[in-house]
Amino acid sequence: MIDVHLFREDREQLAAALARRGVDRAEVDRVAELDVEARELLRTQELLRTQVKELSRQVRAAQQRGESETAAALREESRALGAREREAGATTEAAQQVLREALLLLPNVPDDEAPDGSGPEENVELRRWWPGIDSGVSAPAYQSHQRVPHWEIGEQLGILDLERGARLSGSMFPLYRKMGARLIRALSAYALARHVDVYEEIRPPTLVLTDTMTATGHLPRFSDEGYHIERDDLWAIPTAEVPLTSLYRGETLEEAELPMRFCAVTACFRREAGAAGRDTRGLLRTHEFDKVELMAYATPDQAAEIHADITARGEGLLQELGLMYRVLDLCTGDLSAPSARTLDLEVYLPGVDRFWEVSSVSWYRDYQARRANIRYRPRGGGPPVLVHTLNGSALAWSRIWPALVETGRQPDGSVRLPECLAPYLGGETVIRRRD
């Protein structure tokens, strides 16, 4: 959520910044007007409260002087004024709620370094990597046996059963079997082992409160994409970012505790309502998938280093896995609503001949922390300050799994997996058909 003081102190600069994200000036002006209205109502309420207190003082003074009739008259006046103060309080609270709802719908102010653009086609490619690039090896020329889509490979090897998954839960709920299931488990264990040196491992709940979803910015914007259990007012998490961000919601930390880093592997749930039949074959878009997430609280001065670290960890995994990928700097028109700056890691899938996002490494500044009310006390004293939050996947397995089986497919139809996964697969690194 954007600091409301920006609407009061520098509306022109704020409007110009949000215009980079396609926010109409009228939306900025509306929030500013709602803020003025809410503050005027609050002043009226506070004036009435002051008058009520003064009448109460006068009642006590009259009683002490033995002026019972005067005290009774003042008491009656105080009751009437108190009723007006309560009514003004309700009106003020309603106005403040309208203001908050308007603020919740506005996206974050983009970072100055985020490239301008209206959509994904204007994202900026920063770099590309493939095995051997550091030694001058040319980009891979994938062979015909690698140009087979993963859903066909999975069916041939008996490691992916989309038909039975759909029979159990409906379309876009995959079912992994045998080495396919072991591979998903191995990837999570492998990634966690690479991160727990610095990032505290957390196993958060999979269902969270509405306030928890709101804190990250997934609500109210995400409501159509989320799975809501109305009876209990709980949401299935779309990413571990959601519970991790609220881990210290409403608390004040000490600056010496920062940065705080967390990692978690969870199932993630998304309706993919906007997909409308696009890219729904195989594992490219699914309603449920596993993902390892990295998340951090930081001071503003620490945030850039944390952002770089999460990015480097995601790239390090991709390089160990031997997968070709690229890094994109997302333009202002493609940033998620809460993000000020995002770098996407996209892996190449030879079987579908396309790069697919496997991690969005995002810096939210204090946008999420303001919603969640997470602050820290500066070492040098002064009032508590909102933390900065950052997160990124390392990595999303529903895209890595396809990349591994397509890239590692051999001429005989088997799949050779990277050696770095051997310790998590009981030493096995080849997937063959096993009836």
The domain locations on the chain are: 5-105, 120-431
Q: What is the DSSP letter of 148?
A: S
pLDDT value at 359 more than 90: yes
Tell me how far apart the alpha carbons of residues 374 and 386 are, in angstroms, rounded to a whole number. Answer: 6
Report residue 86 as tokens. 């309560």
Banded model confidence at residue 433, pLDDT cuts 50, 70, 90: confident
Q: What is the pLDDT of residue 276?
A: 56
pLDDT in tens, 256-314: 999 999 999 999 999 987 655 667 789 999 999 999 999 999 999 999 999 999 999 99
Q: What is the pLDDT of residue 301?
A: 97
Q: What is the pLDDT of residue 274?
A: 61
The β-bridge relationship of strands 252-254 and 375-377 is parallel
Tell me how far apart the alpha carbons of residues 138 and 144 are, in angstroms, rounded to a whole number. Answer: 18
Cβ atoms of 107 and 23 within 8 Å: the answer is yes
Tell me how far apart the alpha carbons of residues 97 and 93 are, in angstroms, rounded to a whole number. Answer: 6
Tell me what the pLDDT averaged over the chain comes to: 96
> Rounded mean pLDDT of 59-83?
92
Report residue 212 as tokens. 């928890």
Q: What is the pLDDT of residue 70?
A: 92
Fold assignment, 120-431: BirA Bifunctional Protein; domain 2 (3.30.930)
Fold assignment, 5-105: Helix Hairpins (1.10.287)
pLDDT value at 84 more than 60: yes
pLDDT value at 17 more than 90: yes
Tell me how far apart the alpha carbons of residues 266 and 311 are, in angstroms, rounded to a whole number. Answer: 20
Cβ atoms of 260 and 359 within 8 Å: the answer is no
Global confidence as pTM? 0.93
pLDDT value at 47 more than 60: yes
Largest CA distance in the chain: 105
Residue 167: CA atoms inside 13 Å, Cβ hemisphere, count? 5
pLDDT value at 434 more than 80: no
| Helix (H/G/I), strand (E/B), else coil: 252 | strand
Report residue 350 as tokens. 């030879």
Q: What is the DSSP letter of 44?
A: H
- 211-216 long-range contacts, CB within 8 A, separation 24+: 211/246, 211/249, 212/242, 212/243, 212/246, 212/249, 213/242, 214/104, 214/371, 215/242, 215/245, 215/246, 215/249, 215/368, 215/371, 215/372, 216/241, 216/242, 216/245, 216/246, 216/338, 216/368, 216/371, 216/372
Q: For residue 18, which of 5, 36, 2, 4 has the smallest C-alpha distance?
A: 2
pLDDT value at 187 more than 80: yes
| Helix (H/G/I), strand (E/B), else coil: 422 | helix
Banded model confidence at residue 337, pLDDT cuts 50, 70, 90: very high
pLDDT value at 435 more than 60: no
